[in-house]
Structure 1
Amino acid sequence: MKNKFLSLAIVVVAGTMALMASCEDQTAKILPTDPVEIELTLKQKEVVALTNRFAFDLFKPVVAGEGSGTNIMISPFSITSALSMTLNGAAGETFNAVRSALRYDGQSLEEINDTWRKLVTEMVPVDERVVMEIANSVWAENNFPVKKDFIDALKEWYLAEARNFDITDPGSVDIINGWIEEKTHDRIQNMLSSLDRDLVMLLINAVYFNGKWKHQFDVKNTTERPFFVTPGNPVNVPVMYQKQKFSMSRPEKVTLVELPYGQGNYSMVVALPDEGIALSEIVTGLDAGKWEEWMESLSYGPTEVELYMPKFRYEYKRKLNDDLISLGMGRAFDPGTADFSRISDEEIFISFVLHQTFIENKEEGTEAAAATVAGFTRTSLPPEPEVIDINRPFLYFIRETTTGTIVFMGLVADPTGV
């Protein structure tokens, strides 16, 4: 009898475990194997297309402003996010100048804001195999009066945090840098070296990306191979290798190959100039129209490729004032013409736009981060406090202020006197 009960118990337990395993199999999440479309309205697609136009228009002066052989990386997404927040505080001709510099001519502020809220909310969760994090914040100095409508707009459309800082506290710069470091997983560090005494507000965007290749490279296939910094100047670098089907094309003067991450919503497109073609020539001829041609050429399906790709890791930092002024944003940087009256009744202007990035590319995938800080300063500094040094004989009066009644009055000739 005991054996029968034991056998029955074993059967029940086994059946229960099998049922649980079956339920787990049925409830296990099936992740997509292809890109999941983020659906945009026609207006949102227009804003994204104009944002890409701004990206290439900005990239050219940035590249031109650096010396040959410098590794460069910008995040147009981060820069445009910070400057689109700025647009919410601009008025009059300053609004028109910032909007035009961002290539948003013809787009209403609501259309621009609506697109950014869509991107911020839906680009983050679209691929569970890819970590994509976006953070925005507005920092106002304790004594700087900011209009509530401006703060509310940034919270609503950009999911921005509203914070305060004390310009007299030497630790404030560390608090702000700490926020940037936290949001970028410590990849963007010590972005601000100090805070000027006349600084009243900061608008900050931070982006963090960590994507695993859909087709990862085998570490065992990584070897030292020459990389030609210039045609006659090879250096040996670690180069990854794999044989795989990738989208590729060979438009004029360049070879393109696209490497997907995760399910393919994110990818890296590599553009390799043909031998004898300088990289600067490709950059000079690159714009949003050329980019669309490139993307079209990659849409014809994968081709088997033997891919040799160098590993790399570097950081980049640049003050973007001159680059943005060259695109038509000069009025926003000019204390005499800037109009940010939708931020505050005090007169302010943009004193700096600072951008910092990080990237590491290796066998498993790519880790990248970026932060953009737009700093605002008073157009005219508040006057220095009047100094009153009561160091000689004086009068004093004690009064009731609402009636004007003088209760006491006196004269001090010698404070040490009894």
Structure 2
Amino acid sequence: MGSLGTANVEFCLDVFKELNSNNTGDNIFFSPLSLLYAVSMVLLGARGETAEQLEKVLHFSHTVDSLKPGFKDSPKCSQAGRIHSEFGVLFSQINQPDSNYTLSIANRLYGTKTMAFHQGKNVTVEMMYQIGTFKLAFVKEPQMQVLELPYVNNKLSMIILLPVGTANVKQIEKQLNSGTFHEWTSSSNMMEREVEVHLPRFKLEIKCELNSLLKSLGVTDIFNQVKADLSGMSPTKGLYLSKVIHKSYLDVSEEGTEAAAATGDSIAVKSLPMRAQFKANHPFLFFIRHTHTNTILFCGKLASP
């Protein structure tokens, strides 16, 4: 995974954990790529301690460390420019001409809010049902199923982390980090097999201010009119960031996914002839990612449809 891809996953999980700690039991949904790109645009004009805070929280320090000799000593604007050049390459890969989707990133800072639900109460939910050949993994600790549902033409996919047995979603959240996420979703774990999928229809439309979240992660100076250093944008003193607003929308229905046809000689299907059951009738985590680059476009938790 490239440096930008690493930053994408690390930042995604940082934001998720912060949102989850402040909204226990609620639905969560946001676009880590959109938020990463929006905040990195501010980095272009940031200098000094303000820039260092942004680089650390966005996990761009790893990106800078990976620069060729001599480049990491160049001005901050050049480093940020290289990062934005990587974004350009990434967006061109995601928005291929033959894709039947378009990823639009607005030049604003967009985020997430929670949707209230009644904890501990059962609700009647309309479930989607389909049988197909999907990539599926069984994780022993914590006990969970990991399912990958491909979107049209396999350009995008939804990864679902569903607790099973005696496990619950809190146990998954506790152990979730970049290392475990890659392990749970690795090709060595995910095997193609016939799966009977039960998944709730749900819509999430979320908009909220993320100032406090970014401050909790370590971005503080940029919100302070006295401490903020955005001299790369303007020589005028007193320039600072007032609000970070993030907005995301998701509609999951039968039309949104399709079963992937099995190709080649699939050993997993042959060695596991029994049809697996995947019933998402309790809280789960989900990630929508671009298959070719492994970039996480959206991340969330469905606690109540």
What is residue 202 of structure 2 aligned with on the other side? 312
1:131 to 101, 116, 119: 101
3-state SS of paired residue (2:167): coil
The 8 Å contact of residues 247 and 299 in structure 1, kept in 2 or not, is answered as no
Larger radius of gyration: 1
Q: Distance in 2 between matches of 1:360 and 1:263?
A: 18
Matches within 5 A, 1:2-41: none
Higher strand proportion: 1
The CA RMSD over aligned residues, in Å, is 2.5
Q: Distance in 1 between matches of 2:215 and 2:85?
A: 26
> Deviation at 1:314?
2.4
What is residue 291 of structure 1 aligned with on the other side? 181
The 8 Å contact of residues 71 and 316 in structure 1, kept in 2 or not, is answered as no
5+ residue gaps, structure 1: 1-41, 138-202, 207-228, 371-418
Matches within 5 A, 1:195-210: 203-204=108-109
What is residue 278 of structure 2 aligned with on the other side? none
Matched, 1:75 2:31: yes
Matches within 5 A, 1:152-167: none
CA pair 273-300 structure 1, distance change in 2 beyond 3 A: closer
1:54 to 5, 11, 20: 11
Matched, 1:119 2:90: yes
1:237 to 118, 125, 136: 125
CA pair 263-52 structure 1, distance change in 2 beyond 3 A: same
What is residue 100 of structure 1 aligned with on the other side? 56
The 8 Å contact of residues 333 and 350 in structure 1, kept in 2 or not, is answered as yes
> Which residue identity is paired with 1:56?
L
Q: Distance in 2 between matches of 1:300 and 1:272?
A: 14
CA pair 121-205 structure 1, distance change in 2 beyond 3 A: farther
The 8 Å contact of residues 91 and 339 in structure 1, kept in 2 or not, is answered as yes
> Which residue identity is paired with 2:226?
G
What is residue 381 of structure 1 aligned with on the other side? none
Q: Distance in 2 between matches of 1:101 and 1:261?
A: 31
CA pair 301-249 structure 1, distance change in 2 beyond 3 A: closer
> Deviation at 1:238?
0.6
What is residue 136 of structure 2 aligned with on the other side? 248
Q: Spell out, residue by residue over 1:335-363, the C-alpha distance to the aligned partner (whole angstroms, 9 max, x if none).
A: 22110001111221111111121111111
Q: How many residues align?
A: 237
Identity in percent: 29
Q: Spell out, residue by residue over 1:85-128, the C-alpha distance to the aligned partner (whole angstroms, 9 max, x if none).
A: 11101011111111111011142323311210111222112652
> Deviation at 1:334?
1.7
CA pair 258-320 structure 1, distance change in 2 beyond 3 A: same
3-state SS of paired residue (2:242): strand
CA pair 328-270 structure 1, distance change in 2 beyond 3 A: same
Relative contact order higher in (CA < 8 Å, ≥ 6 apart)? 2
> Deviation at 1:46?
1.4
> Deviation at 1:301?
3.5
What is residue 235 of structure 2 aligned with on the other side? 345
> Which residue identity is paired with 1:133?
L
3-state SS of paired residue (2:30): coil
User: How does the TM-score come out when normalised to structure 2?
Assistant: 0.71
5+ residue gaps, structure 2: 65-78, 112-117, 258-287, 289-296, 299-305
Q: Distance in 2 between matches of 1:234 and 1:126?
A: 44
> Deviation at 1:305?
0.6
> Deviation at 1:133?
2.6
> Which residue identity is paired with 1:255?
Q
> Deviation at 1:204?
5.0
Q: Distance in 1 between matches of 2:93 and 2:110?
A: 17
> Deviation at 1:300?
4.5
> Which residue identity is paired with 1:114?
S
What is residue 327 of structure 1 aligned with on the other side? 217
CA pair 358-117 structure 1, distance change in 2 beyond 3 A: same
The 8 Å contact of residues 230 and 240 in structure 2, kept in 1 or not, is answered as yes
